[in-house]
Amino acid sequence: MRSCLVILLFFSVVSLVCISEAARHGPENYGNETQELLKWASRSGNLGLRALWLILHFAVTIWYFLLGVVQSFESFLIASDILTKYEALDISKVRYLAMVIDSEEAQELSKVLELLQWVADIGVKSVCLYDPEGVLKKNKEPIMQRFSSANLSEEAAVNGRLVTRRNLTLEFVSFEDGKEAVAKAANYLFVKHYANGTKEKSDFTEPQMAEALGAIGSGGADPDLLLIYGPTRCHLGFPAWRLRYTEIVHMGPLKSMSYGSLVKAIFKYTMVHQNYGS
């Protein structure tokens, strides 16, 4: 940062010197020389700003590189059981875990299966898998084959939930599910409050919307923790009404996932005390 300030100060001084030199040569030559010197100062200033940008870009790149190295090393220590504090993981606080995966990365089914295996090994009982385009919903069968003795109940067939004998419940959700749920809930509220001739027509409240979503079978449990695997730091259209009290953590690209970072994210959640308003 000091070097950046020095560069800016240098080019400011150069500009002032150029103007003073032009003024010293007398009024007859002041106009032409000033224009030439100002052009030169402008070009020098542009070069200075470009150099400043390159320095800042280089510094940020180095910072994130070193941060990635530290996180990778920490993940290795966690996976190797060297950092013993993570052994005290109270998984009972994560009653429902949601994982948002970028649709393009969700096509790497082997990575998704490996991630689910880690989650099951940690002891999570209920997991919601979401990707915007429904890639994971289309691949239920391979997931069922990986988690042996899996079967779909009647409720699971309707709501997209997969129940296995290992007590791991999987729910598959896509962006279309959210759109369909909102449309059905809006129609439910319209029929209940408007279509029957009711005179009272007030704005809908959050409890009424929650009631409508529950009535059409799209309420769903609110995840305690939502892990995002992908290049962007957003939930990619995960149903917003299910994120009222959810802790959201960006985990980076799926290809960079690690067991240690997964344990760390869940451990940090279990150590946070959450206060809920009235």
DSSP one-letter code for 194: I
**What sections of 80-135 are H helices per DSSP?**
103-106, 109-122
Sign of CA dihedral 24, 30, 32, 36: positive
What is the pLDDT confidence band of residue 118, given thresholds at 50, 70 and 90?
very high
Residues near 214 by beta carbon (within 8 Å), at least 6 away in sequence: none
With tokens 């103007």, the residue in question is 19
Residues near 29 by beta carbon (within 8 Å), at least 6 away in sequence: 22
Range in 175-179, 220-224, 270-274 the model is least confident about: 175-179
Mean pLDDT of 241-247: 86
Range in 136-145, 166-175, 241-250, 251-260 the model is least confident about: 166-175
CA-CA distance, 108 to 229, in Å (whole number)? 12
Amino acid at 131: D
**Per-residue pLDDT at 124 exceeds 70:** yes
Q: In this prediction, what percent of the chain has a pLDDT beyond 70?
A: 58
Output Rg (C-alpha) for the chain, integer angstroms: 29
What is the pLDDT confidence band of residue 164, given thresholds at 50, 70 and 90?
very low
Work out the mean pLDDT of the chain and round it to a whole number. 75
Q: Between residues 48 and 52, which one has the greater pLDDT?
A: 52
| pLDDT (0 to 100) of residue 181 | 65
**Per-residue pLDDT at 175 exceeds 90:** no
Q: Between residues 264 and 45, which one has the greater pLDDT?
A: 264
Mean pLDDT of 150-171: 50
| pLDDT (0 to 100) of residue 204 | 66
CA-CA distance, 135 to 109, in Å (whole number)? 9
| pLDDT (0 to 100) of residue 94 | 94
What is the pLDDT confidence band of residue 258, given thresholds at 50, 70 and 90?
very high
